[in-house]
Amino acid sequence: MSALPPPVVLAEDTTIESLTRERGDAAARLAPAEQAELDREVVATQIQMLYANLGTAFGGQILGTLLVAWTVYDAAPLWTVALWFVASIANQLSRLTLLRSYRRTAPDAASAPRWGSYWLAGAAISGVLWSSTLWLFFTPEAPEQQIVLISLLVSVCGVAAALTSMHLPSYYTFLGTTLLPVIARYIWEGSRHDLLVAFILSVLMIALWRVGRNFNALIERALRSRYANEVLSRRLETQNVELSEARDRADQASRAKSQFFAAASHDLRQPLHAMGLFAAALSAKAHEPEVANLVTSISSSVEALEGLFNELLDISKIDAGKVKPEVTDVSVSALFDRLRMDFEPEAFERGLSFRIRSRAAWVRSDPVLLERILRNLISNAMRYTPAGGVLVSTRMHGGRLRFEVWDTGMGIAQEDRNRIFEEFVQLANAERDRRKGLGLGLSIVQRLSGLLAHPVNMASRPGRGTVFRIDVPMGRAPVVRATATRSERAQADLGDRCILVIDDEASIVDGMAALLGSWGAHPLIAGGMAQAMQAVEEHGAPPDLIIADYQLRDGEVGPEVVAAVRRHFDRDIPAILVTGSATPERLEEAKDLGHHLLLKPVMPAKLRTLIQFKLKEQAA
């Protein structure tokens, strides 16, 4: 991989507008015909993104319609509520019909603007219907009802910034037809508090307008850079004599994009910060729990937008050379413990299996960046695996430790394997569901792997699954310190949790009791089934956790003792099995019983991490 270009220092007053106006890029050097074609492709893609978000918008609009009807049905004439409700539902169904027609037609770049006009008309109707709620159902003596309606309107506008601002005419139309009549209504009322509400909504509308404009500029700039680079690539195939110049243009486009994203950070976060302040102001006036929950949706919209921006800004930091690796020796076991704690609950919620198979090893890398690479790969695997599971493993390869992330997802076709590392490419997200991100995860993986000199590659079978591999140099385990620091002892505190330890070796149970006691736990010691039952009966309450050796005396095994304690208390107590031989059969048995299995010798840090995870899992 070629070296990254040196970062360009931006002046403090650099803004999105000045950067877009003053900095040239690849698109600026295109021929007029190519420029015109690029403009058509950008507009067509923006409209395609608009329609791809309609499914998500439809669900939110229907939910909002139901909430409005539920809020005002007993405070307004029934026929008025029914008429508004039917009109709103009919409008949403017509937009759903428009989406189906768009998909059947599959318009080309030339006819895309016409479909943008259709959407704009629907946005205007939707805005009028939403703003009409403050005219049809306005009750001066019921401020709680006003707060609910305003909260719904602001929430809908906040979500629209993420879902429709890629097409500014539609976004501006919806924003104006939704908020301007509401502002006019409060001005019409004329009281001091009504005018204050009108002022707050006006400032909020300006903030939303800026967010939509800046987000649109961000997307349009990225699309123009992408299509410009594609045009230049096609030109390279036919004009070899211009190879050097074309490469310069592509590099310049990349630098301009990085500068743009770096400058965008401040401009984008300012209105988001303002939106958060207004959300807090509205929340302070909402005293009813159900009203407060609705107001909270405004803050949720701000957080969703910030999450999308952060992915874009991560790309810019890497490209601008602002990310500097700090290479050190990294414990694979500790790294995988953190990954297990974060992704095991998520996999359970998705109905997937999540397994980690690794050896105790150390590698040379930046711990933060390496973990970010693996997190992106695992998140990507879970996101596109509807059934089955994800496996994370390691093995030696050419003197390096190879990390592998396997999934049983839909796989990747041969012709798409180079595209998946491009920005904004999501092969299995035709509906452009924003919950699946912006398609930057693998692009970040490629950049970070290049920065760390950790080669990454992949293999896939369509319909069967995919594996991503990354090779990392081996490292050395540091010298273990004799005593723990005060901060480590504080982190180890288990808050007087009762932990039942079952092992037939006296030295082991004594050491385990001392270790757990130093962590603040209350250990119960037993050598087998009879002692375990006696210990819990004397304690008078079920233990919070059981740690059991697999093989005990007199033919007893740990899983049987765990099952007996659970039956005694009729409670699914979390358990950890410790074994000296992790055979496939034993691993499968532990998995079926819902136990975590640790292989001797067990490192205290790893044990503590797993104990905390099991306790948190049980609480959840």
Torsion on CA atoms 229, 234, 238, 240, rounded to nearest 10: 30
Calpha distance 139→276 (Å, rounded): 27
- Of 96-110, 152-166, 470-484, 534-548, give the range with the top mean pLDDT: 534-548
Cβ neighbors of 188 (< 8 A, separation 6 or more) are: none
Nearest of 571, 491, 574, 563 to residue 532 by alpha carbon: 563
d(C-alpha 176, C-alpha 157), whole Å: 10
- Domain 328-473, CATH among 3.30.565.10, 3.10.20.30, 2.60.40.10, 3.40.50.720: 3.30.565.10
Handedness of CA 492, 494, 496, 501 (dihedral sign): negative
Q: What is the DSSP string of 86-100?
A: HHHHHHHHHHHHHHH
Q: Where are the domains of the chain?
A: 17-319, 328-473, 490-619
pLDDT surpasses 60 at 433: no
* pLDDT of 526 higher than 80: yes
Examine the pLDDT at 542 and tell me if it is beyond 80. Answer: yes
211: confidence class by pLDDT, cuts 50, 70, 90: confident
Q: Which region among 9-13, 25-29, 103-107 has the lowest average model confidence (pLDDT)?
A: 9-13
Cβ(239)–Cβ(175) under 8 Å?
A: no
Please report, to the nearest 10 degrees, the dihedral formed by the alpha carbons of residues 298, 304, 307, 313 taken in order.
Answer: -80
Residue 283: what pLDDT?
55
pLDDT > 60? residue 278: no
More confident of the two residues 332 and 360? 332
- pLDDT-derived band at 286 (thresholds 50, 70, 90) equals low
**According to the model, what pLDDT value does residue 438 have?**
47
Least confident of 148-152, 302-306, 429-433, 512-516: 429-433
**Residue 472 pLDDT exceeds 90:** yes
Q: In this prediction, what percent of the chain has a pLDDT beyond 70?
A: 71
Residue 469 pLDDT: 92
pLDDT of residue 272 exceeding 90, the answer is no
- DSSP letter string over 285-314? T--SHHHHHHHHHHHHHHHHHHHHHHHHHH
Tens-digit pLDDT profile for residues 213-238? 888 888 788 777 777 777 777 766 66
Supply the pLDDT for residue 19.
38
Phi, psi for residue 239 in degrees, rounded to 5: -130, 75
| Highest mean pLDDT (candidates 53-67, 244-258, 446-460, 476-490) | 446-460
| 592 closest CA partner among 554, 551, 562, 547 | 562
Name the strand (E) or helix (H) holding 143.
helix 143-164
User: Which of helix, strand or coil describes residue 165?
Assistant: coil
Mean pLDDT (whole number) for 34-47: 80
pLDDT the model gives residue 98? 84
Architecture per CATH, domain 490-619, reads as 3-Layer(aba) Sandwich (3.40)
Q: What is the mean pLDDT of residues 362-388?
A: 87
Instruction: Give tens-digit pLDDT for 391-408.
Output: 999 999 888 999 999 999
Residue 20 pLDDT grade (very low, low, confident, very high; cuts 50, 70, 90): very low
pLDDT > 90 in the chain, percent: 7
Q: What is the pLDDT of residues 485-516, one digit of tens each?
A: 444 444 446 777 899 989 887 767 777 787 78
Mean pLDDT across the chain: 76
Q: Which residue has the higher pLDDT, 600 or 113?
A: 113
What pLDDT does 620 receive?
64
pLDDT at residue 372 tops 80: yes
Listed in sequence order, the residues at least 6 apart from 459 whose beta carbon sits closer than 8 Å to its beta carbon are: 466, 467, 469
Asked which of 23-37, 146-160, 181-195, 428-442 is least confident by mean pLDDT, the reply is 428-442
C-alpha–C-alpha distance, residues 586 and 56, integer Å: 45
DSSP 466: E
* pLDDT given at position 160: 78
Residue 75 CA neighbour count, 13 Å, CB half: 19
Tokens for 543, please give them.
Answer: 């233990």
Q: What is the pLDDT of residue 49?
A: 81
What's residue 244's pLDDT?
62
3-state SS class at 352: coil
Res. 248: pLDDT tops 50: yes
- Per-residue model confidence as pLDDT tens digits over 151-166: 888 888 877 777 777 8
Angle made by CA atoms 56, 205, 50, in degrees to the nearest 5: 30
Token pair recorded at residue 191? 């009281």
Which residue do the tokens 């005396």 mark?
Answer: 553
The pair of structure tokens assigned to 111 is 């006819």
**Per-residue pLDDT, 514:** 74
Q: Supply the pLDDT for residue 404.
A: 94
> Nearest Cα to 112, choosing from 26, 33, 170?
170
Buried b (16+ CB within 10 A) or exposed e, 344-361: beebeebebbbebebeeb
